[in-house]
Amino acid sequence: MNNYKYMAIVDWVKDYISSEGLQPNDRFLTEKQLCEIHGVSRQTVRQAMMHLEQENIISRVRGNGTFICEKPVVQQAPLNQKSVGVISTYFSDYIFPHIMTGIESVLGDAGYTMQLSITHNQVLEETKALESMLSSGVCGLIVEPSKSALPNPNIALYKELHDGGVPLVFFNAKYPWGNYPCVAMDDKAAGKVVTDYLIGCGHRSIAGMFVLDDIQGHLRYSGYMESCLAHNIPFSERNVFWFATSDRNSIFDYAKDKLLELLKRSTAVVCYNDKLAVNLLKFCKENGIRVPDDLSVVGIDDSRYASICEVPLTTVHHPHSELGKAAARKLIGMMDHRTSEQRDEIIVPELIVRSSVKKI
């Protein structure tokens, strides 16, 4: 059989799905229609259909027809040599505006424009963002992964970017399978630094609150545990409260009793980040727990909340703007030299001491 004929149909189908805007579960053309369109035998069409099924582009349901699969085909546009895609979990809050400003300043100085997409830490939103970047032909990508500690369905899209010669840099965290460089603060060191500080202030009953679905949470927990184990702090693992990112605003309601029990047996708490720490301060005030007299609290990231909240937070400074600049510089270097691999750039954290910790 002529391989050219059936592969020509495969390529035509991919273009057809894209140009017609077909969506997952839409009905596709019949074998008879494809035979008529291309003037080929039913056998050639069936071989093309088998190939398309193997690529997870279509699915055939016996007695019901042919349908577009859940993951539609994305056609990569020709590369726009001056457009860089940036995908972030958030934008308008916390440390993210500073990171974006850092990225944009370096890209702008180098003559690049920035195309921004926000995922709200949802992997399916990341899918849409990656597909949009592919279709618009960006020449490079800077990405903050969504739910980086969980299995991710976008591996094939990242491979497509790699195969298409699109350089990519992760920031804040990266997927464990991602063969791309990352620019991040040393999150393990951050968790260790704040825990070491609490221990240096005499605390032995130290709780930890960490997010479970991103790598940053795991690394900060790892630093907390390393410090506790090094100083023979008892029950440190038992004193950890894990939560999902999507629950971060509701844990003080649905887990109130569990948290009060945890705080009752602790003199200090290491919080995953400043935003959580500020919410914990509010929770403590509502429940008659005085900070730092009854409970010392530390955060991580040194966000704008840390210095202006009711009890200014001891925390670790996140190099937000500089991190953004470093990520942009690394990507530009990759685009200029067309190298596909570079080392990670990990920035050492700095402890910021304020009034949320009491020496005991």
Task: Assign residue 339 the CATH number of its domain.
Answer: 3.40.50.2300
Does 166 reside within a domain? yes
The better pLDDT of the pair 21, 75 is held by 21
Domain edge (last residue) among 68, 96, 114? 68
Residues 228 and 259 in one domain: yes
Q: Is the pLDDT of residue 233 over 90?
A: yes
Does 359 reside within a domain? no
The better pLDDT of the pair 45, 277 is held by 277
Does 168 reside within a domain? yes
Residues 192 and 313 in one domain: yes
Q: Is the pLDDT of residue 106 over 70?
A: yes
Residues 306 and 325 in one domain: no
Give the residue from 248, 315, 241, 316 showing the smallest Cα distance to 279: 248
Averaged over 103-116, what is the pLDDT? 94
Residues 97 and 217 in one domain: no
With 0.85 as the threshold, say if the pTM is over it.
no
Q: Is the pLDDT of residue 216 over 80?
A: yes
Reported as a single tens digit per residue, the pLDDT across 309-330 is: 999 999 999 999 999 999 999 9
Residues 266 and 343 in one domain: no
Sign of CA dihedral 205, 207, 264, 274: positive
Counted domains in the chain:
3
Residues 173 and 245 in one domain: no
Q: Is the pLDDT of residue 1 over 50?
A: no
Burial of 250 (0-12, 13-18, 19+ CB in 10 A): exposed
Does 139 reside within a domain? yes
Residues 29 and 44 in one domain: yes
Element containing residue 347 per DSSP (H, E): strand 345-347
Residues 215 and 312 in one domain: yes
CB distance 173 to 182 below 8 Å: yes
Q: Is the pLDDT of residue 341 over 70?
A: no
Q: Which two tokens stand for residue 315?
A: 């925390």
Residues 163 and 45 in one domain: no
Q: Is the pLDDT of residue 80 over 60?
A: no
**Torsion (CA) 90, 95, 96, 99 in degrees, nearest 10:** -150
Averaged over 52-57, what is the pLDDT? 80
Residues 235 and 307 in one domain: yes
3-class DSSP assignment, residue 177: coil
Q: Which two tokens stand for residue 82?
A: 């001056």
CATH code assigned at 42: 1.10.10.10
- Say if strands 350-352 and 315-317 run parallel, antiparallel, or are unpaired: antiparallel
Binned at pLDDT 50, 70 and 90, residue 9 comes out as confident
Q: Give me the sheet containing 138-143, strands edge to edge.
A: 113-118, 80-88, 138-143, 168-171, 182-185, 345-347
Does 102 reside within a domain? yes
For the chain, the average pLDDT equals 90
Does 360 reside within a domain? no
Domain edge (last residue) among 68, 97, 119? 68
Domain edge (last residue) among 21, 45, 68? 68
- Residue 260 lies in domain: 187-318
Does 358 reside within a domain? no
What is the pLDDT, as a whole number, of residue 232?
95
Q: Is the pLDDT of residue 7 over 80?
A: no
Range with lowest mean pLDDT among 129-143, 185-199, 285-299: 129-143
Reported as a single tens digit per residue, the pLDDT across 157-196 is: 998 888 888 999 999 999 988 789 999 999 999 999 999 9
Averaged over 31-51, what is the pLDDT? 87
Residue 145 Cα to chain centre, angstroms: 2
Residues 327 and 179 in one domain: yes
Does 356 reside within a domain? no
Binned at pLDDT 50, 70 and 90, residue 2 comes out as very low
Residues 246 and 314 in one domain: yes
Binned at pLDDT 50, 70 and 90, residue 112 comes out as very high
What is the pLDDT, as a whole number, of residue 292?
98
Binned at pLDDT 50, 70 and 90, residue 339 comes out as low
Q: Which residues pair with 319 in a beta bridge?
A: none
CB distance 217 to 248 below 8 Å: no
